[in-house]
Structure 1
């Protein structure tokens, strides 16, 4: 037998460590080549780590929530055939390991750094007991084993994974398991309504993964940036009429327009007049960096939490191009396929809760930026036109600014310019 040590991979340029967010195996579990062993996260991007060998898990080097340095040992796998024990970047000088293959002739396997491991004989793989019947449902507090992709599919389909029988190693739920469950039309068992009774259960949930990243980002922004929030009412009646007309005449390859592409184009035009809001502030160095490029971050809710995919060079995109890129990035963020570079590098951010947008919000700036524009929900209200009340579609913009860099007057001028463009949407399309 030999050991193969899997180290934390280099998951991105300049990344020195990553957080372990999920194990899919435990000591004693059999694994096969390319089977996903763990998931790690850095810069809001989740990366799955596959096994390069067949074998059995001997040891796990971290717990969920731990931060692991790149190239640090992550887990050890017992292999039959050519295995390796990797220690840092050096070759070990341990004596050869004796392996007994099927022909009973001893073979020496040297434990040098990073040789390729051969899959071993099928009879050496320990398969889960097929004869043991697994329970159809798990306990409420038990977290089923499944990859992020399987969890996302289940959530979108409204499937409770605790009701799904997993056939993978250690009861891990595979895509096939989920397909079979949905094909049967299985539904969670009905729960009898509970009577009036005291509930004494206490659940402690460790904050890990994306939720911890969000918490750290919010703490940093809230503690270091003195916010000023400016709220303005915008009449978007004409904009909504224009949007409906453009959607009705759009081509088959063009995305459906929401209000966000119009706001993004209005933002680009306004930044051209007030470049000071399209900036980042390094308060340690005391340096404000203004950008000619307008890279707009779009706060997006995903099954894992809030992420901010970035529409790059919005200043060079048409409204249809902005809409298409916005749709692509939002889909990638929600299904966990967004690349690391697509989730960083914004120069200003838009946040919107859509129909749940409320009347007023106080958005927190995406540090180290100096401004964020918040979109509230559109409501039809009676508006006095001088002679009578008429129904108009009204939406509030709630925008926050770093008051160290942006004065209150400049914040108000910035929002008022956006208001003027949205209320007369033809101006958005006039160049110059």
Structure 2
């Protein structure tokens, strides 16, 4: 028997150290070649570290949250034969995702057995959790909607994601255990609680916290809110879906918003820009790469629709759908999660009336979409019911003047309220 030492690989891009985010194995585990041992975090990406050998884990080189130098000992594995203590062949790191302006918590997860993958529900095995009625468990909007559709109270479901976040798999495991809302013991409504939970700020959560703090400290944020009558564009969308939905796919409002951004930016090139405040250089871009904020079980991610200026409505819709699916499934590549020039963020029906989105530096603008509501409006002296929606957008005042920001949003408003103008060249 020998010892095979795996050192922290060189991720590239001149990175000298990385943060150990999550261990997927523990001492005593048997591992196989290509099994993911750990996740590490660079300034730009989460990276998988796979095993190049079969063997037994005998030592871990660090703890989650620890910053480790490239070349330092990551893990030691007992192998058949002499091993290679002096120098291990470096496994090829696999980039999982790029950090975005999002909320995401990383904690240590349980080790995975290597003999055979566990059944899907087995990942989430465990007794039911009884939380207080007013306690809001961690879960994405998609999971909350899924639970609502299934008639499951989230406070009764054990979460196996980072920091106890409830995942889709947890809902399936809950159903598989045959538990129901009616059989759940009701906690005392007014019982005192003294429990506390400490969550380490490590991995992606630490990077996101740093990016958000950096964005709010460095950029001169200001927000501008305007209401838009989307009745006409919604009627157009319904008409196009009825006529072409079966052959070209269904359209949501997002492709129309992307098109409105593209057209409006022609007159406001200073908004489709990146600002390097260290070099004091503003780069205006002809290409419009639109970041689309997407909610996933692991948190908010922003895949990028590249060259939106060259896409039709259906092309944009297909790309948005493809990227959203990849992001939610954790399959989005690093390139698909970086390089945006302006970001579009929306929570759909949960979008509220007004929001104050945080810039995704080095971008200088982010357009926030609020929910659509029907309201009585006065048009030509008559009260009529219209579909209204607010845009809550933020800008970097170091680059974008308030008047230009207002005119830009008004341009988007005009395009959406008269949707034929979206396609007039």
TM-score (norm 1): 0.77
Aligned in 2, Cα 1:354/1:15: closer, same or farther, shift over 3 Å?
farther
2:226 equivalent in structure 1: 232
Alpha-carbon distance, 1:81 to partner: 1.6
In the other structure, the counterpart of 1:242 is 236
User: Who is 1:321 aligned against?
Assistant: 315
1:211 and 1:305 in contact (8 A); partners too: no
Residue 384 (structure 1) aligned with residue 396 (structure 2): no
Name the CA shift for 1:421/1:344 in 2 (closer, same or farther; >3 Å): same
In 2, distance between residues paired with 1:421 and 1:12?
44
The match for 1:72 is 72
C-alpha contact 1:269 1:428 (8 A) present in aligned 2: yes
Relative to structure 1, the CA distance from residue 182 to residue 239 in structure 2 (aligned partners, 3 Å threshold; closer, same or farther) is same
- Cα 1:429–1:213 change in 2 (3 A) is same
Number of paired residues?
370
- Which whole-Å CA distance do the structure 1 matches of 2:188 and 2:31 have between them? 42
1:258 aligns with: 252
| Structure 2 residue 257 is the aligned partner of structure 1 residue 273 | no
SS in 2 for 1:292: coil
SS of alignment partner, residue 277 of structure 1: coil
Q: Distance in 1 between matches of 2:248 and 2:51?
A: 41
- CA change 1:308–1:10 in 2 (3 A) is farther
Are the equivalent residues in 1 in contact too, given 2:125–2:173 (CA < 8 A)? no
Q: 2:197 aligned with 1:203, yes or no?
A: yes
The aligned counterpart of 1:332 is 326
Cα distance change, pair 163–366 in 1 and its aligned pair in 2 (3 A): closer
Distance change in 2, residues 1:195/1:294 (3 Å): closer
User: Structure 1: how far apart are the matches of 2:23 and 2:295?
Assistant: 24
Q: 1:209-224 counterparts in 2 under 5 A? A: 209-224=203-218
Alpha carbons 2:7, 2:90 under 8 Å: kept: no
Deviations 1:298-320 (A, max 9, x none): 12222122221111111111111
8 Å contact kept, 1:44–1:210: no
Alignment partner of 1:421 out of 404, 415, 424:
415
Cα pair distance change 1:127/1:240, threshold 3 Å: closer
TM-score, normalization by structure 2: 0.78
Given the alignment, which residue of 335, 345, 348 partners 1:351? 345
Summarize the alignment of residues 7-406 of structure 1 with structure 2, pairs less than 5 Å apart. 7-11=7-11, 15-42=15-42, 45-87=45-87, 114=89, 137=126, 186-187=178-179, 190-252=184-246, 254-406=248-400
Q: Is the CA contact (8 Å cut-off) linking 1:154 and 1:161 kept in structure 2?
A: no
Classify the secondary structure of the residue corresponding to 1:249: helix
Q: CA deviation at 1:68?
A: 3.3
How far apart, in 2, do the equivalents of 1:126 and 1:222 lie? 44
Distance in structure 2 (CA, Å) of the matches to 1:82 and 1:138: 45
Q: Is the 8 A contact 1:297 1:309 kept in 2?
A: yes
Once the two structures are TM-superposed, the CA of residue 179 in structure 1 deviates from its matched residue by 13
Higher relative contact order, structure no. (Cα contacts within 8 Å, ≥ 6 residues apart): 2
Q: Deviations over 1:99-119 (max 9, x none)?
A: xxxxxxxxxxxxxx5399xxx
Aligned Cα RMSD in Å?
3.4
Q: Check the 8 A contact 2:19/2:68 in 1, yes or no.
A: yes
Equivalents in 1 of 2:295, 2:176: separation in Å? 31
Equivalent-residue separation in structure 2 for 1:190 and 1:73 (angstroms): 48
Max radius of gyration: which structure? 1
Partners of 1:350 and 1:408 lie apart in 2 by 19
Q: Identify if the C-alpha distance between structure 1 residues 331 and 71 changes in structure 2 by more than 3 Å, giving closer, same or farther.
A: farther
Q: 1:183 to 1:84 in 2, by over 3 A?
A: farther
